[in-house]
């Protein structure tokens, strides 16, 4: 099963569109990227960029930092779980 990265539509409109595009267009990543109307993190949504990586909240002060944190989280999970389905 591919890793799942989820975004809130409001957060994408404000902060993270560049992150969504980068994840979808990175030939080295094989992830599912989904955008929802709301993920239920309204306080975080208006304060800074965030995403859910396999259900785990990942936040950062900038879109670029968020992309780095998402990639690190994906790598950490790959290191832990290897080819096991998540």
Provide the greatest CA pair distance for the chain: 35
What are the pLDDT digits (tens) for 33-49? 999 999 998 888 888 99
Q: What Å distances lie between residue 22 and 27, 43, 47, 56, 71, CA to CA?
A: 10, 25, 21, 19, 11
Which residues, in sequence order, are CB contacts of 38 under 8 Å at separation 6+? 8, 9, 10
What are the pLDDT digits (tens) for 46-68? 889 999 999 999 999 999 999 99
What are the pLDDT digits (tens) for 2-37? 999 999 999 999 999 999 999 999 999 999 999 999
Q: What percent of the chain has pLDDT over 90?
A: 73
Q: Is the pLDDT of residue 80 over 80?
A: no
């Amino acid at each position: 099963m591919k890793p799942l990265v989820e975004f809130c539509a409001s957060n994408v409109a404000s902060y993270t569109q560049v992150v969504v595009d980068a994840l979808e267009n990175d030939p080295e990543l094989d992830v599912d990227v989904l955008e929802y109307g709301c993920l239920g993190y309204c306080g975080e949504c208006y304060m800074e960029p965030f995403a859910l990586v396999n259900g785990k909240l990942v936040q950062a002060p900038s879109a670029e930092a968020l992309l780095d944190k998402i990639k690190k989280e994906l790598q950490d999970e790959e290191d832990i779980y290897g080819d096991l389905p998540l």
